[in-house]
Amino acid sequence: MKIGLLFGSFNPIHIGHLIIANYMANHTALDKVWLVVSPQNPLKKYGDLINTYDRLEMAKLATDNATNIAVSDVELKLPQPSYTIDTLAHLKEKYPEHEFALIMGSDNLATLHKWKNYRLILRDYRIFVYPRPGHENAEFASHPSVTITMTPQMELSATFIRKSIAEKKNVQYFVPDPVLKFIESKGLYK
């Protein structure tokens, strides 16, 4: 089985994430997409990241009825900080029957040269890239391991959602209803 890995903090998960995952699972050579909840991205500041297990639960709530999208907590069990190459090596060892690929935005492809062992990633894994405004001509876009997709673009970010919640604005339809109920029940992002 070909499994695409979409890594993220999912702080919170929103419909933009789900559109990307759905597109990749249904419109590319991938059979399934795993949303990998990352405890902490080594290239990002800690900031206002909420509890990892709350983010994991929201991702599970958002994908509860999905047939070819699942949530993975693999990075919660690995040493911190999480490096993609280490996670890939772990998954390859644990699930030798699967072929893993990366899913990333063109903005991440533009900074791939900053990733730990990025040359190994390019050598050993396929990378499915969704477009992000302002990052159309990323350095590795023409690499043989890279597939640029026509994933629908959406100007929606978790930062916008967190800010909107803090300002007591309605975020219905930006996040799935079960996720919104979870956020409200726990008083997150206020």
Condensed to tens digits (0 to 9), the pLDDT of residues 20-43 reads 999 999 999 999 999 999 987 655
Over range 146-171, report the average pLDDT.
95
19: exposed, middle or buried (Cβ count in 10 Å: 0-12, 13-18, 19+):
middle
Tens-place pLDDT, residues 86-111: 999 999 999 999 999 999 999 999 99
Instruction: Work out the pLDDT band at 44, boundaries 50, 70, 90.
Output: low
Q: Are 10 and 54 in contact (CB under 8 A)?
A: no
Q: What is the pLDDT of residue 42?
A: 57
Q: What is the pLDDT of residue 166?
A: 96
Chain mean pLDDT for the chain: 93
Strand order in the sheet with 69-72: 69-72, 32-37, 2-8, 99-105, 126-130, 146-148
Structure tokens that stand for 18 in this block: 């789900």
Instruction: Work out the pLDDT band at 80, boundaries 50, 70, 90.
Output: confident
The C-alpha R_g of the chain, in whole angstroms, comes to 16
How many CB atoms are located within 10 Å of the residue 28 CB?
Answer: 19
CATH of 2-153, one of 3.40.50.880, 3.40.50.620, 1.10.3720.10, 3.20.20.80: 3.40.50.620
Asked whether the predicted pLDDT for residue 70 surpasses 60, the reply is: yes
